[in-house]
Structure 1
C-alpha cells in the first residue's frame, strides 16, 4: 500500500484523499482560487473544516456569511482562520483580496449535524513541544475546543524547525485500547520553506511489517491508517503539515509512544 500522494498543480478544487475510499473516516481536498474567483461545494455525509493556508476569502455556509477571513501570506506566517462546515451542507468560497487564495478542506465521516462556526487566528491554541533536536510548534485549530460542536473531526498544524524531528518520540494511534491508546486515522498535508527543500516521513510498526520512508516535497500528502509516523525536516528547511484525525471511538487524543523510545520522555524534564 502506498501512503504518499505527491503534489499536483490543479486550479480550483481537487479531492486528494477521499473518506470511505482511501481511508475510512478522513478526507482532504485542496482549493486554489484566483482573484475574485468563486467555488461552490457540498459536504454530504462528511463534516469539514476549511483551513485558509494563504490569502483572504468570504465563506457562506447554508446561507450564513463569514466575511474577510484569512490574514497570513503563507502557512509559516502565523495562525490560520478556519471555518467548520457541518454534514449535509452547501458552502461557497470567494477569494476576497483580489490576488489568490489557497485553502485546504479537511473532512471526516460523521452522522451528527452541528452549526457552522469560525476559528479565528487568535483562538488557535499554540504550544512549543519537544527538546534538543525534536522541537516543533503545534497549533490546535479544532481539538479540545471542538467538544460538543463537532462530531469526529480533529484538526491542527505543526511546524518543524530546520533539522528537527516532529511527531517524536514516535507515536501511533491505530488500536482501540483505552485508556492507553485511541484508534484514529490521520492525514498530513505538507508545505516546505523554501519550496525546493524536503522533509522525510517515516512509517513503521512494532514488528516492522510496515517499514517505509518518503521524501516529502512541497504540497505532498501522506495518509496514516496505521503505525508510528515521525517527520524530519532537512537542515536548512522548515516543514509544515496540516493534520486531520478521526475515528469511531471519540475525539480524545491518546497516542501510544514507541516503547523503544519511551526513555526519551523520562529524560526530557532533566534537559529542559
Structure 2
C-alpha cells in the first residue's frame, strides 16, 4: 500500500477539509480509525471492498479510470474502524465532524450526472457527495470532468460567505489530466484578503482554496481535465455558490449554445 497524497487540515493550515489517496496492489489492505473525521471512499481507478468495525460492508466496483464515468462510493462516519481491500487508486475525501451519520453505500446508478455550462464552458459533474444526495455532517464532495480546450469552475465563484473574517468553506482540488498533459487553475482573493494563484497542474497535483474566488479551471486543448472537489467548514452544509460580480454576465452568453458533444464521458446515459 502506497500513500500518494495526504492532506490533513493541519497540513493545509485550516480546520476541516482533508484528502488522502492510496494505491493498492491486488489484495492489499488499508486500515484506519476515522476518529473525529467523516470519510467518503471514492475509487479513482480499480475497485475495492469497504468494511467497518460496526459490520457495514460495501463492494465498490469502481472504474478503470476517472474519465470512464462516475463510480459508486461509500460514506464512513466518525469514530469508525475502516478497512479497504482491493486494487487501484482510492481517494478518501474527509472532513472533521462531530455529528455521527449512518454508513451509506451510494451505487453508481444513484450518482446524479449533471452537464453544466455550454459551448467551451461545458463540463460534467458527478454529484455523489452533495447535500441533496448524501446525508453527512460537514463534507461536500463531487467530481468535475472538462473536455480538452474547455473552461470549468467558470465564471469565477465562491462556495462561501465571510463570517468574522473566516471563510465558511475550505476547498481542495485534486487533479488528473488525460494523456499526461497540463491544466491550469486560478484562485484570487480580495484587497482585504489577498490571494493570487495561477498554476499549471498535472496528474496528482492539488490546489488548496482557503478563501477567495476560484476559477477558471482550464483544460488545455487535447488534454481532458478531471478534478475531485472536497469542501467543508463550520457553517451550514451548503454550496453557497456566488459568482464574481465582475464576470457573472458570462452565464448569459450560454443561452442557445449547445452542450459540448464530447459529453458525457463514459457510457452512462443521462436521465
TM-score of Structure 1 vs Structure 2, range by shorter chain: 0.7 to 0.9
SS for the counterpart of 2:119 is coil
TM-score (norm 2): 0.87
Query: Which one of 143, 149, 153 corresponds to residue 157 of structure 1?
Result: 143
Query: Which one of 56, 63, 71 corresponds to residue 80 of structure 1?
Result: 71
* Equivalenced residues, count: 252
Query: Which one of 227, 233, 239 corresponds to residue 247 of structure 1?
Result: 233
Task: Tell me how far apart the structure 2 counterparts of residues 67 and 18 of structure 1 sit (CA, whole Å).
Answer: 25
Matching residue of 2:129: 142
**For 1:178-197, what aligned pairs fall within 5 Å after superposition?**
183-194=168-179, 196-197=180-181
SS for the counterpart of 1:266 is helix
SS for the counterpart of 1:209 is coil
SS for the counterpart of 1:103 is strand
1:117 aligns with 2:104: yes
Displacement of 1:271 in angstroms is 4.0
Contact 1:54–1:70 (CA<8 Å) still a contact in 2? Answer: no
Contact 2:155–2:243 (CA<8 Å) still a contact in 1? Answer: yes
Contact 2:44–2:62 (CA<8 Å) still a contact in 1? Answer: no
1:219 aligns with 2:204: yes
Task: Tell me how far apart the structure 1 counterparts of residues 3 and 72 of structure 2 sit (CA, whole Å).
Answer: 19
Matching residue of 2:51: 60
Task: Tell me how far apart the structure 1 counterparts of residues 145 and 158 of structure 2 sit (CA, whole Å).
Answer: 19
Contact 1:129–1:137 (CA<8 Å) still a contact in 2? Answer: yes
**For 1:255-270, what aligned pairs fall within 5 Å after superposition?**
255-270=241-256
SS for the counterpart of 2:214 is coil
The structure-2 alpha-carbon separation of the partners of 1:49 and 1:218, relative to structure 1 and needing over 3 Å to count, comes to same
SS for the counterpart of 2:246 is helix
The structure-2 alpha-carbon separation of the partners of 1:85 and 1:240, relative to structure 1 and needing over 3 Å to count, comes to same
Matching residue of 2:268: none
Displacement of 1:184 in angstroms is 1.1
Task: Tell me how far apart the structure 2 counterparts of residues 48 and 261 of structure 1 sit (CA, whole Å).
Answer: 34
SS for the counterpart of 1:144 is coil
Task: Tell me how far apart the structure 2 counterparts of residues 271 and 101 of structure 1 sit (CA, whole Å).
Answer: 38
Matching residue of 2:21: 30
The structure-2 alpha-carbon separation of the partners of 1:214 and 1:170, relative to structure 1 and needing over 3 Å to count, comes to same
Task: Tell me how far apart the structure 1 counterparts of residues 173 and 194 of structure 2 sit (CA, whole Å).
Answer: 22
SS for the counterpart of 1:76 is helix
The structure-2 alpha-carbon separation of the partners of 1:24 and 1:35, relative to structure 1 and needing over 3 Å to count, comes to same
SS for the counterpart of 2:121 is coil
Query: Which one of 164, 177, 199 corresponds to residue 183 of structure 2?
Result: 199
Matching residue of 1:39: 30
Query: Which one of 19, 31, 37 corresponds to residue 9 of structure 2?
Result: 19
